[in-house]
Structure 1
């Protein structure tokens, strides 16, 4: 035995939007035993597997278009107006678990679009949340992941800037300053969720307190990739895993202090499982 001291980051685990969606799903699954969900309810394979075992059926938009007279969960990322229109057409009951922060952002973008604003969205191309945001503008808004994608000479001289809720606050304001520095008048809307963005600072503090860090996240989680790199920058002995089977005992030396943390899509039960596995070394 290596006599490892293991601690789970108290701030890690699901954000409130994911908690809300999963609680809604479990309530229906407990009552009815089956529920359709449009896309993975959360970007964590282990949690999706757990809910599938309870009767959750993950579908895509193609399957949705063929579905009739069923209940379908809208996950925290939100959906574009076309999904709601299809639901009415196909007599589907939508269980809307869209994150309140995302819904508020959708409404703000819709209002800007109705006023005729030139809308730019800092976000990840083809991300579920961004697709929902674009839908508020008839897909006319400009989405960019990095300012290098924009030809600043052709950007309108007056734009309205929004951000996907899970992007970096620092990066958003860096982009905002670069746009303004190029002579563009920017109506800036900081729409980043602080529960997510504040994780950067919290994780840097956490990662610096241990000999090694085990970061637990699904491979599909954009937030997980960003937060893993935050930990890695602070503590080079940071390891990315998706489940407890991937842990390697050679990562740890005798009497090491080991920290466990994760993405906002990582369930606490999974981090507890990881802790129990590490304590067997």
Structure 2
């Protein structure tokens, strides 16, 4: 223990969700056997974990690279992919190692069914996000995507709407959007497709956040649910810091004897939170 005698505890409910664990386990197994593996996009929205896997031979490629790749194995990460990716793989004799999260696959399927039934689909999600691109792909990119209620003001919307959500959005916000659309006179068929591993964290986190003087929230800057969960922490404990790596911490953020809770996104590896804990305990 350092001179500050900080009392530090990691939120045991935080860390990788099962979709990410599944993708990383799959990648590590193939890397151990073959020494390298291509992955379409960052395997997880956490730079530290991506670097760890790159050191084991993971090669991150994008869709433009895929066009020129032949006769190789390529991992599809938990976020899922659009149908176009599968067509291209077939064409280029690429073996896809599909680690799409089952929650995302189920949602893709539901959106495709809605689209085939000629429904007007609206997706509450982040523009350009990997999962959202895969979802739009189920509708020939005809589905409209919006990030927040304000954006709806600028959209021409049909009278009847089928509303879906990216799996890592906030449940509260989803239902607020639904109510707002109904209040504006639209007929809304709402499908709550938010992952329960994310929404349950929404529920458990307030209790965790209130137990400590300060919260250190560890997440990659690209993580969508990282943003959601950080806001939940900050709402229930204003002394919440967002960091991506231990070197962003400074002793002057803390007072001797502080109690500190460490939490993270569903894309934050436990080993990184352990490093943050060790850093704090050294003060």
Question: TM exceeds 0.5?
Answer: yes
Residue matched to 1:168 = 170
Q: Aligned to 1:280, which of 274, 279, 282? A: 282
Q: Is the 8 A contact 2:75 2:96 kept in 1?
A: yes
> Which moves more between the two structures, 227-236 or 42-51?
227-236
- The whole-number CA distance in structure 1 between the counterparts of 2:227 and 2:105 is 24
Residue matched to 2:76 = 74
Unmatched 5+ stretches in structure 1: none
- The whole-number CA distance in structure 1 between the counterparts of 2:202 and 2:114 is 30
| Alignment of structure 1 residues 116-155 onto 2, 5 Å | 116-151=118-153, 154-155=156-157
| Alignment of structure 1 residues 200-239 onto 2, 5 Å | 200-239=202-241
- The whole-number CA distance in structure 1 between the counterparts of 2:179 and 2:90 is 43
Give 4+ residue runs of structure 1 displaced > 2 Å after superposition: 150-154
Question: Which deviations, in whole Å up to 9, do the C-alpha atoms of 1:227-257 show, x marking residues without a partner?
Answer: 1122122222211111112211111211111
Residue matched to 2:52 = 50
Using structure 1 for the length normalisation, give the TM-score.
0.97
2:31 aligns to what SS in structure 1? helix
- The whole-number CA distance in structure 2 between the counterparts of 1:71 and 1:154 is 42
Shift of 1:148: 2.2
Unmatched 5+ stretches in structure 2: none
- The whole-number CA distance in structure 2 between the counterparts of 1:78 and 1:219 is 20
Q: Say if 1:153 and 1:257 are closer, same or farther in 2 by CA, change over 3 A.
A: closer
How many pairs were matched up? 281
Shift of 1:201: 2.2
Question: Which deviations, in whole Å up to 9, do the C-alpha atoms of 1:100-133 show, x marking residues without a partner?
Answer: 0000000000011111111111111111000000
What is the CA RMSD across the aligned residues, in angstroms? 1.2
Q: Is the 8 A contact 1:152 1:182 kept in 2?
A: no
Q: Is the 8 A contact 2:169 2:224 kept in 1?
A: no
- The whole-number CA distance in structure 2 between the counterparts of 1:22 and 1:210 is 32
- The whole-number CA distance in structure 2 between the counterparts of 1:15 and 1:63 is 28
Residue matched to 1:32 = 34
